[in-house]
Every structure is written in C-alpha cells, then in structure tokens.
Amino acid sequence: MIKGVLFDLDGTLLQTIPDIAASMNRVLERFELPVHPEEDYKTFLGNGAKVLTERAIGNRREMFEKVYKAYREEYAAHTCALTRPYDGIPDMIRSLRDRGLIATVFSNKDQADTENVIHYYFPDGPFAIVRGRQEGIPLKPAPDGALMIAEELHLTPSEILYVGDTGTDMDCGHNAGMITVGVTWGFRSREELEKHKACHLIDRPAELLELL
C-alpha cells in the first residue's frame, strides 16, 4: 500500500528553467563566456549546480570556480522571478493531502534554494520533508537521500512513489527500492524515462492520483 510520495523538484513540481537559465547566462556574460538558449538547459540540469556549471562553461574549465560561485549567488537572488508550478500541481498536492498521503521533496538543488522555492510556491506547507543537496549526502542517483527520507517517515521504500522527470530520478528511485513514476511534462523525454525503466509514466499531474 502506498503511503508516501517523494517528488523531484525541477521539471516535476516547478518549471524552474527560466530562472536558472537567466541566472547562469547573466554570469556567463559577466565573464565574457558564451551564453546558451534556454532550451539547452533542459539537458544541463538534473545533477546539481556543479554539473550545471561544468556543462555551461564547456571547455573553459579554468573558469569553473568563479562561475560556480557567481552562479550560486545570482540564482539565490532570483529563484522566484520566473519560476512557476506546472499546471495541475497545486491541485494534485492538495488531493494527496486530502487522501492522507505524506508528500516530500527531494532535489539535487542546493538546500537553501530548494527551501526558497518550495516555501514561496507552496506557502501552506504541504510537504513533510523538503530535502535538497546537503554536504555528506551523495547526489541522486545515489539512493542515500531517498532512503533517509523513508527512514524519517517510518515507511518502507516499497510504500513510496518516487516521482520525477529524468533518468537520474528513475535510477535513484530504483536504487532505493521505490516505485518510480516518470512525468512527461518535465525537462526530459518520454524515451529517456522508458530507457531508465520508469514503473509508470504520466502525462498530467491528476494521473498520479489514479495510481493510488
């Protein structure tokens, strides 16, 4: 029986690319580096800010530390300028709560940024745990963070739906022994989710309720 739902953040609950792309491009311009179309950031994201920075600077590895530091500062100041919840997400979250399920968030985004956007866009506090990148905890697809959430909720992994939009999410869910749900409205393709063996695929947030 499913008792909890663990959500990825970027590309699953929130369309965050406009703020991320704008923040990184402003930093790249500052250092006279090439900027990227917003669409490119769909493949830059998913593995944390360090990997995002590596992908954004390309072969200019000597600029990594400067760009990474500047990006974190820039994005922290602009996490909620252009970001929006995907259509149907707030209603779906309310329905989960009405049904007595426990909702949580698990992201590779820095902890402070994760908390900022969740508290801003979900001010009624529907999530029991909001977990972003923390020192000492491996990033997804390592299962450590997901398993810690399950332990804190006193649930077995098999009692949790892991909902995400990338192959990294599907791998993390499988590694943790959770039931994976791939969402097709996010940053990556249906084909990627299928390749990473999503247990279920959904095209609209309301379809998640049909799995319960």
Same structural domain, 121 and 162: yes
Q: 21 and 91: one domain?
A: no
Q: Could you tell me if 100 and 60 lie in one domain?
A: no
Please, which pLDDT band fits residue 79 given cuts at 50, 70 and 90? very high
pLDDT over 90 at 48, yes or no:
no
What tokens does 60 get? 């200019």
Query: Do residues 72 and 155 both lie within one domain?
Result: no
Please give the residue range of the domain that contains residue 163: 4-15+83-209
- How do residues 98-151 score in pLDDT, each as one tens digit? 999 999 999 999 999 999 999 999 999 999 999 999 999 999 999 999 999 999
pTM of the complete model beyond 0.85: yes
Same domain, 108 and 150: yes
For residues 10 and 23, membership in a common domain is answered with: no
Residues 176 and 99 in one domain: yes
The whole-angstrom separation of Cα 193 and Cα 185 is: 12
For residues 10 and 40, membership in a common domain is answered with no
Average pLDDT over residues 158-167: 97
Task: Pick the last residue of a domain from 39, 58, 76.
Answer: 76
In a shared domain, residues 167 and 133: yes
Domain final residue, candidates 76, 106, 125: 76
Q: For residue 154, count other CB atoms closer than 10 A to its CB.
A: 10
Burial of residue 204 (CB within 10 Å: 0-12, 13-18, 19+) is middle
Residues 121 and 57 in one domain: no
The answer to whether the beta carbons of residues 137 and 144 sit under 8 Å apart is: yes
Number of domains in the chain: 2
Looking up tokens 């959904």 gives: 202
Tell me: do 89 and 187 sit in the same domain: yes
pLDDT of residue 88: 97
Last residue of a domain, one of 28, 44, 76: 76
Give residue 65's pLDDT: 97
Q: Do 174 and 186 have their domain in common? A: yes
Please determine, for residue 46, whether its predicted confidence score (pLDDT) is greater than 90.
no
Cβ atoms of residues 25 and 34 within 8 Å: no
CATH number at residue 32: 1.10.150.240
The beta strands (E) that lie in the chain are given as 4-7, 14-15, 84-85, 102-110, 127-133, 160-164, 179-183, 200-202
